[in-house]
Structure 1
Amino acid sequence: MKAVLQLKYFFEKHGFHVSSRLADKLGMRVSDVRLFFIYISFVTAGLWFGVYLTLAFWIRLKDLIRGKRSSVFDL
């Protein structure tokens, strides 16, 4: 249990103030950096959802173009 608490404290000390450190280095407000991270996460999630929809459309289109044969004798 002690190792878990030490790991938790390590991440709290070194990981949670990333946006404030980055804002200090860039000379920006912390809220702008946090908004940028939020917007970028939505864009990347939306991008992959768009790729998924495009691939699903192509598969559906392929199935519509190539007719399915009901038996071996339809060759």
Structure 2
Amino acid sequence: MRNVIKIKYFFEKYGFHVSSRLADKLGMRVTSVRLFFIYISFVTAGLWFGVYLTIAFWLKLKDLIRAKRSSVFDL
């Protein structure tokens, strides 16, 4: 348990301070940088979900157009 707490403090000290340092470098507010990271994470996750839905739609459309017929009488 002690190692988990050390890892937690390490990431709090060095990892979560990234947005503050980036905001200082760019001359922006920290909240704006954090909101940008939140929005861009939703956009990238939503983008791949949209690609997945588009491919699923194409595959379903392909199956509807090229229906498998078992005999000549199914025409």
- Unaligned 5+ runs, structure 1: none
Paired with 2:35 and 2:2, the residues of 1 have a C-alpha distance of: 35
Counterpart in 2 of 1:32?
32
- Unaligned 5+ runs, structure 2: none
**Structure 1 runs (4+) greater than 6 angstroms displaced:** none
- TM-score of the superposed pair, with normalisation by structure 1: 0.84
Residue 46 of structure 1 and its aligned partner are, at CA, apart by 1.4
- TM-score of the superposed pair, with normalisation by structure 2: 0.84
Q: Percent identity?
A: 81
Counterpart in 2 of 1:19?
19
Paired with 1:29 and 1:18, the residues of 2 have a C-alpha distance of: 13
Counterpart in 2 of 1:53?
53
**Cα-to-partner distance string for 1:30-50 (whole Å, 9 max, x where unaligned):** 111011111111211111111
Instruction: Give the total of aligned pairs.
Output: 72
